[in-house]
Chains A and B, each alone.
Chain A
Amino acid sequence: SQELEQSPQSLIVQEGKNLTINCTSSKTLYGLYWYKQKYGEGLIFLMMLQKGGEEKSHEKITAKLDEKKQQSSLHITASQPSHAGIYLCGAVSANQAGTALIFGKGTTLSVSS
């Protein structure tokens, strides 16, 4: 079965610093989602990447998909306290006609002011 590994597991950065979170898949990625979750709350969709080499940005968050490496990275520029939370990558499962999502275990981001 496919697995997603996120690194690092947790991250503490000073406000204004840049950071990168990685998501590596054990199998070829056919679609990679990034979600953000405030502790104990629902998931907020950030972006989805589908094509190798694809890059998308939303405000100060940029995500890239490298299909050859079966990896995606999420980069936050000039971090702010509002960026704090749990970042989850999700991949379209090969099962269920491509409708299921499997998730990494998440990266907890803390931003100190």
Chain B
Amino acid sequence: EAQVTQNPRYLITVTGKKLTVTCSQNMNHEYMSWYRQDPGLGLRQIYYSMNVEVTDKGDVPEGYKVSRKEKRNFPLILESPSPNQTSLYFCASKLAGGREQYFGPGTRLTVT
């Protein structure tokens, strides 16, 4: 089944404790992206990747890092999480010339 998977789905952590949210897609998509969704603010892009080893900042990159060492994986790294990073995070992927962007099921992160 073609899909985007994220792990973990739910995470509660404390301020300053490094964490990684994994994202994997099995559709051989070149483009991958991370979004966060917050009430009243909607979905906002954090980082994106056009292909392996090619990443760039989205609209709200502060406090986040990403890497794209393999085509299928695009982990989101929070080196020192803070409470303002409490949010619902979505990973998405698409073919370089494709229209539809496929979204993962989301990761609900709470930073206390």
From A42, A97, A100, A104, give the contact of B42 (CB < 8 A). A104
* Chain B interface, >50% SS class: strand
Most chain B beta carbons < 10 A, residue from A43, A101, A106: A43
Q: Are A103 and B104 in contact (CB under 8 A)?
A: no
Known: A104-B42, A105-B41. A99 touches B94 (CB 8 A): yes
What's the A-B contact tally at a CB cutoff of 8 Å? 55
Within 8 A of B (CB), among A27-79: 31, 33, 35, 40-43, 45, 48, 50
Is B56 within 8 A of A96, CB to CB? Answer: yes
How many residues of B are in contact with the other chain, CB < 8 A? 27
Does A42 lie within 8 Å of B45, measured CB to CB? no
Cα A98 to Cα B91 in complex, Å, equals 18
Q: For the complex, is B74 an interface residue (Cβ under 8 Å from A)?
A: no
Interface size band for A = 20 to 34
| B45 and A100 form a contact (CB under 8 A) | yes
Q: Are A31 and B43 in contact (CB under 8 A)?
A: no
5 additional A-B pairs beyond A88-B42, A101-B101, beta carbons within 8 Å, are A43-B92, A43-B103, A99-B94, A101-B43, A103-B44
Q: What would 14 A/B residue contacts be, using CB atoms closer than 8 Å?
A: A33-B101, A35-B103, A43-B90, A45-B100, A88-B42, A90-B43, A99-B50, A100-B33, A100-B45, A101-B45, A101-B92, A103-B42, A104-B42, A105-B41
